[in-house]
Amino acid sequence: MKITHADIYPLSIPLIEPMKMSREIVVDAKTVLLCLTDDKGRQGWGEASVAPLMTGETLDSLIGSIKYLVEKSLSIDWLKPDDFAEIFNLILYSNASAKACLEMALLDLYTQEVGLPLWRYLRGRNAVPNESAPAAIPLLRMLGGSLDKELSDAETFRALGFRHWKIKIGSLTLDEDLHRVKVLSDALGGDVISVDANCALTLPNAIRFCQSKEASRLSFAEQLIPADLPMGDFVLLNRSSGIPMGLDESIHGVVELEQFIEAGAFGGASLKLIKTGGIINALSCANLLREHRLGFNLACKIAESSLSAAATASIGFAMGEVSWGFSMSNQYLMFDVCDVPLVAKRGCLDVEQLASTGVGITPNINRVKEVIAKGYSTIQC
């Protein structure tokens, strides 16, 4: 499989409403789409979003790395997906997000060529022989804004079938966050409720949070403390906590997972393609977590389009279940880049929304061109 042409699209898509996290407020999705054309005339699409506080990527750095990788890719015959990551590493050190973008586009082409949907190809890698359609994946809905708005959104989306929730914490005082968590836990009793501090708590505050009565009904608490704290702090927090400790910013792949598993420092992890460097590595992470009876959720960065959502969901469909839910962030976009965006049905994503070959979502080129980020243009290779 040879690549004959590539277009790189730096995009800015407004969110329906700003998303407030402990260390940043996101108002638009800064994401990069890549369209590869192969020697048979097929097109394969990839996507990766910026995440300055998670991967260090900005729009400029991401475009630069993708362009560099793609230019070198034009002379390569892409045969086996198992070799893709190794080839990327021979071209460029680190830069997981750019590699995830290119891998997604290459896997889109590869699975079109072999006539399979990506999720079924991944299921085959996991040696799951079952030919039946996988169960729908529960979607994790983020709550934010004032407590009244959070309660109102919780009621609205619960009525639509959502049962997995994430409460962003860390930008208010600990007591204020504990109060929110208690009130929302009362309102959403029986559901899978989680919090995410995006590294904002000190270790003493994190321990106090996890041992509090208010937080006792949470299914997991994600990345309470900064990723650069020593392993011993994570072990202490995990041992002190009455609820499972999820990690996000701390985890970028199998190597870190193995270190945290050996230390007994967590209860599960959040997997994003921009961190793992792609779909196949993320699948390996999910398998490792399952093997050790740890939880995991799949997540897109706030925010990515239906394209990245389809690729990420394919891991869930291949795994058969996603215990901590799937954070599909296209639901926060003002509009999507494809004709038929992925949508929640009774709070879940079903596989029928994906096309029968490839990643399963094809962006509409006219829509893509309408949301090119201000000051940027399409890059052709």
Chain residues binding Mg ion by CB under 5 A are: 196, 222, 248
Q: Which residue has the tokens 């996991």?
A: 126
Min. distance of Cβ 314 from Mg ion in angstroms? 20
Min. distance of Cβ 261 from Mg ion in angstroms? 19
303: preceding bond cis by omega (within 30 degrees): yes
Min. distance of Cβ 270 from Mg ion in angstroms? 5
Min. distance of Cβ 248 from Mg ion in angstroms? 4
CB nearer to Mg ion: pick between 126 and 171: 171
Q: Which residue has the tokens 């750095």?
A: 61
Q: Are the C-beta atoms of residues 70 and 381 closer than 8 Å to each other?
A: yes
Question: Exposed, middle or buried: residue 190 (CB in 10 Å: 0-12, 13-18, 19+)?
Answer: exposed
Min. distance of Cβ 275 from Mg ion in angstroms? 10
CB nearer to Mg ion: pick between 88 and 324: 324
Smallest CA-to-CA distance from 245 within 262, 222, 226 is with: 222
CB nearer to Mg ion: pick between 313 and 373: 313
CB nearer to Mg ion: pick between 88 and 296: 296
CB nearer to Mg ion: pick between 54 and 344: 54
User: In this structure, are strands 348-349 and 43-49 parallel, antiparallel, or unpaired?
Assistant: unpaired
Angstrom distance (rounded) from CA 308 to CA 314:
10
User: In this structure, are strands 348-349 and 326-327 parallel, antiparallel, or unpaired?
Assistant: unpaired
The alpha-helical segments, DSSP class H, found in 264-321 are: 273-276, 279-291, 306-319
Which neighbouring-strand residues pair with 49? 31
Min. distance of Cβ 21 from Mg ion in angstroms? 8
- Maximum alpha-carbon separation in the chain: 61
Encoded amino acid at 40, one letter:
K
Min. distance of Cβ 194 from Mg ion in angstroms? 9
Angstrom distance (rounded) from CA 194 to CA 245:
10
CB nearer to Mg ion: pick between 28 and 196: 196
Core vs surface per residue 306-335: b (16+ CB within 10 A) or e: bbbbbbbbbbbbbbeebbbbbbbbbbbbee
Min. distance of Cβ 223 from Mg ion in angstroms? 5
Tokens, residue 214: 């208010």
Min. distance of Cβ 220 from Mg ion in angstroms? 11
CB nearer to Mg ion: pick between 222 and 336: 222
Angstrom distance (rounded) from CA 181 to CA 8:
42
CB nearer to Mg ion: pick between 177 and 196: 196
Question: Exposed, middle or buried: residue 175 (CB in 10 Å: 0-12, 13-18, 19+)?
Answer: exposed
Name the residue whose CB lies closest to Mg ion. Answer: 248
CB nearer to Mg ion: pick between 38 and 248: 248
How far CA 299 is from CA of 4, 31, 166, in Å, comes to: 32, 15, 12
Smallest CA-to-CA distance from 36 within 67, 13, 82, 81 is with: 67
Tokens, residue 113: 């060529």
